[in-house]
Amino acid sequence: MWKDVSAPYSKFESWFYDSYIAPAMVPFLDQLQEELGIDLPEKGFLLDVGCGGGQILGEIAEKFPLANLFGADLSEEQVERANHRLASYKGRVQIRQGSALNLPFPADKFDLVLSNGSIKHWPDQGLGLSECVRVLKPGGRLLIIEADRGCRQSDVDRLFAHSRIPSLFRPLFRTLFLLKVSGPSLDMDDTRELAGNLALAEWSVSRIKNLPGWVLDGIK
């Protein structure tokens, strides 16, 4: 992944992301839920595309105890981690190995399709987004969250302040984030251009408060 941004995460990358980076996002989930007004029907269907080790799905499973939760990820290592982490929710959480470019789900299935930090890896981002829209029910909601190529350094520092990375190493990780994570990602204008081609009734792209990222928020 460090050499080729669209290659599947290796065992080491999966472990590193799951241990040090994903936990830094979790404290922001309440803020995001409030800011974005994220909700689901009681027994609604949600898909997390590029779900990684399933930390976000785990939080969602606690908040929406009757919802049917699905995850898809390209990396077998990440699927294994997510299955292990979410084993106690068996029956209402299912993780599948698969690509965002060819989602292993029928059309019009989900009330909410969510993706955090994954679209920068998709080799055809327009195709991946149109797959996310295909599997959404009419009226369903799309939330794509990603590192912003035009992010502020202070927002990167705020993200790492919540990570398990020792403070001595954080300047190094800030540089790596800017070079290897936000650098190869999309900025808000790129995302608006892609969103304009989707079969969405309404959409917006905005910066997320206190995080080095943007959100594409749409309704099918």
CB-nearer residue toward ligand SAM: 51 or 67:
51
Task: Indicate whether 8 belongs to the interface with ligand SAM (CB under 6 A).
Answer: yes
Task: Indicate whether 125 belongs to the interface with ligand SAM (CB under 6 A).
Answer: no
The answer to whether 138 and 107 are in contact (CB under 8 A) is: no
Task: Indicate whether 75 belongs to the interface with ligand SAM (CB under 6 A).
Answer: yes
Give the CB-nearest residue to ligand SAM.
52
User: CB of 26: closest distance to ligand SAM in angstroms?
Assistant: 9
Task: Indicate whether 25 belongs to the interface with ligand SAM (CB under 6 A).
Answer: yes
Specify the long-range contacts of residues 27-35, CB closer than 8 Å, at least 24 apart: 27/162, 28/159, 28/162, 28/210, 28/211, 29/56, 29/59, 31/209, 31/210, 32/145, 32/208, 32/215, 33/63, 35/208, 35/209
Contact pick of 73, 131, 148, 217 for ligand SAM (by CB under 6 A): 73
The answer to whether 53 and 14 are in contact (CB under 8 A) is: yes
Task: Indicate whether 71 belongs to the interface with ligand SAM (CB under 6 A).
Answer: no
Structure tokens at 194: 């892609």
User: CB of 185: closest distance to ligand SAM in angstroms?
Assistant: 10
Task: Indicate whether 121 belongs to the interface with ligand SAM (CB under 6 A).
Answer: yes
Contact pick of 38, 46, 50, 217 for ligand SAM (by CB under 6 A): 50
Alpha helices in 10-73 (DSSP H): 11-16, 22-25, 29-36, 55-63
Report which residue type is found at 219.
I
The answer to whether 86 and 49 are in contact (CB under 8 A) is: no
Task: Indicate whether 118 belongs to the interface with ligand SAM (CB under 6 A).
Answer: yes
Contact residues for ligand SAM, defined by CB under 6 A:
8-9, 17, 22, 25, 50-52, 55-56, 72-75, 78, 99-101, 116-118, 121-122
